[in-house]
Chains A and B, each alone.
Chain A
């Protein structure tokens, strides 16, 4: 009975995890350009859904990117690169402007959606020096669109009202909103990438 309960718990947990972490099965290509690893994901379109709607309404939408090199078991992270990109959408020209926020700030504008997405991935490259070239590794890309700012408690409203609690718990699950994307490539040897001068490792 205890085993059954535990097993059931695992199944439910996995199901919840699958819902919470929406894994988008799309292609991630990795290539080695000199001392840097470059990625591309032609089928990944994160400019969509609610974030795109907010952009079309004239708001700035921030996207957080994480590119990780994982050991074969996927449990150890060998290297990680974070970046944030602020997007805005030109109401008149119907083009995107992207600004890289964390490392050296750079900007690109007059971009179509596809160009803006590609520009972000181009700017996620990181040095390959120090990585184990002869071991099997995984490359993982995670993208998350920041939600619009949560409504703060209004000044002058005392305490937490039942309405505010309902507002908080009644919001649609973030997992159900297509604002998180995850792509993986591997297992592969980085040496193979170098020897071939870059290849797609899907």
Chain B
């Protein structure tokens, strides 16, 4: 029995080799392919090259090996659990139709590392998110500790549920709960600010909780609009512990488009505009408006890739610290430390970056400025290189960044995974 089991396990290898060696043992190989199809939803997600290769089957004799290979490629591009090719009679004799049917994964996104980086002056940042389907709804849970994105290090959990309504609308509810840690440079800068009699920047807080219901509408094929409200509550630390609220209306318009020339070549454009407006109407203790635009364009050509990023932001009114703009982390002004640029961030920001990759080597140039309304903007630049595994958008990078400034040069080491 054991011998038979071993032989049975080994026979598929023998059979597969045999099957690849001969053209086809399939009796249907004498028929001509009349059509090749996938569902319309799947078709939209396939690359141009793959769709062309599928079309190329039409008019040819049915070949099992080619169809199996196409099924594997479709599965790869759709990230499906499986893709099965089903053969059926064509409309004319001696012709067959090939239909590829995909089966989605039970957990499409499963556990994702949503953020991961190390900055030699700002420490570690990491986040994991787990998602699953509950009927039509998609539920997500995540934990994270982030000392990279904002002035504070925030650590805690996130949870959310997204429910689709039809093909174009999605209702989302998100909950966040964080504990905060502050860099001494920020606390000292706030103390100086208070001593100077300026009260335009609120103080630090120890916890922050957010509830954010929103609705996302697909306005066009590549254009989405998200609108909702954010009820953010935080417990201030000085001068006394009390809970304050920053309740705002949020709106995001995003355009995303990919052009895939082939498996290794293509372009991608991602651009967005976000508005957060905290008003008394929502019983907010803070009143402000925050505008942010960002754009990204990447062009990939075999082993080479170029990426350009741009971002700009402006804020009016009295906003809590988590809303202030920051530059000088693992993604922006690489080589600079955000606490050296401005430990309190700014209410204005502009940023640009250009990166070029050849195989695993990336070189970049970053420029940007963060300032407050009544101050003059100081433009800072940095250059650097990275050892990159993956693409400029989705890769693991070991980066050395050099801030361009007079006097001494103090490079910074950054390890980051982009998602």
User: Taking beta carbons and an 8 Å cutoff, which residues of A are in contact with B?
Assistant: 57-60, 62, 64, 66, 68, 77, 80, 82, 84, 86, 88-92, 95-97, 99, 101-102, 109, 142, 144, 146, 148-149, 151-152, 154-157, 161-164, 166-167, 170
Contact = CB atoms under 8 A, between A and B. Distances in A.
Nearest to A86: B25
B26 interface: yes
19 contacts: A57-B85, A58-B98, A59-B85, A60-B25, A62-B15, A64-B7, A66-B7, A80-B3, A80-B4, A82-B11, A86-B25, A90-B28, A91-B88, A144-B8, A156-B76, A161-B111, A163-B108, A166-B106, A170-B106
A80 B110 CA distance: 47
Given A60-B19, A151-B81, A92 B106 contact: no
Interface in B15-71: 15-16, 18-19, 25-28, 31, 62, 64, 68
Contacts of A62: 11-12, 15
Contacts of A64: 7-8, 11
A86 B82 CA distance: 22
A166 B107 contact: yes
Contacts of A163: 105-110
Contact of B82 (A101, A151, A155): A151
Contacts of A68: 4
B28 A88 contact: yes
B93 interface: yes
Interface of B: 3-4, 7-8, 11-12, 14-16, 18-19, 25-28, 31, 62, 64, 68, 72, 75-76, 79, 81-82, 84-89, 93-94, 96, 98, 105-111, 130
Nearest to A180: B8
Contact of B87 (A58, A142, A148, A170): A58
Contacts of B79: 154, 157
A152 B82 CA distance: 10
A88 B25 contact: yes
Nearest to A110: B27
Contacts of B8: 64, 66, 144
B87 A57 contact: yes
A82 B107 contact: no
Contacts of B98: 58
B15 A155 contact: no
Please report whether the interface of chain B is mostly helix, strand, loop or mixed according to DSSP: mixed
Nearest to A152: B72
Given A58-B85, A151-B81, A88 B105 contact: no
B3 to A, nearest CB: 8
Contacts of B3: 77, 80
Contacts of B4: 66, 68, 80, 82, 142
Top 8 closest A-B pairs, CB basis? A58-B87, A163-B110, A97-B27, A162-B110, A163-B107, A57-B86, A88-B27, A88-B26
A71 to B, nearest CB: 14
Contacts of B84: 57, 148
Contact of B27 (A57, A109, A146, A164): A109
Contact of A161 (B28, B62, B87, B110): B110
Nearest to B64: A60
Nearest to A92: B89
A10 B18 CA distance: 42
Contacts of A91: 28, 31, 87-89, 96
A102 B93 CA distance: 34
B85 A162 contact: no
A155 B85 contact: no
Contact of B25 (A58, A99, A154, A164): A99
Given A88-B26, A92-B93, A144-B8, A162 B107 contact: yes
Given A92-B93, A154-B76, A58 B28 contact: yes
Contacts of B109: 163
A120 to B, nearest CB: 15
B102 to A, nearest CB: 11
B157 to A, nearest CB: 18
A58 B110 contact: no
Contacts of A95: 27
A49 to B, nearest CB: 16
Contacts of B81: 151, 167
A123 to B, nearest CB: 16
Nearest to B88: A91
Nearest to A60: B26
A164 B384 CA distance: 37
Given A166-B107, A170-B106, A82 B7 contact: yes
A62 to B, nearest CB: 5
A59 to B, nearest CB: 7
Contacts of A96: 27
A92 B31 CA distance: 9
Nearest to B94: A92
A96 B75 CA distance: 29
B15 A58 contact: no
A120 B15 CA distance: 17
A154 B75 CA distance: 8
A156 B31 CA distance: 34
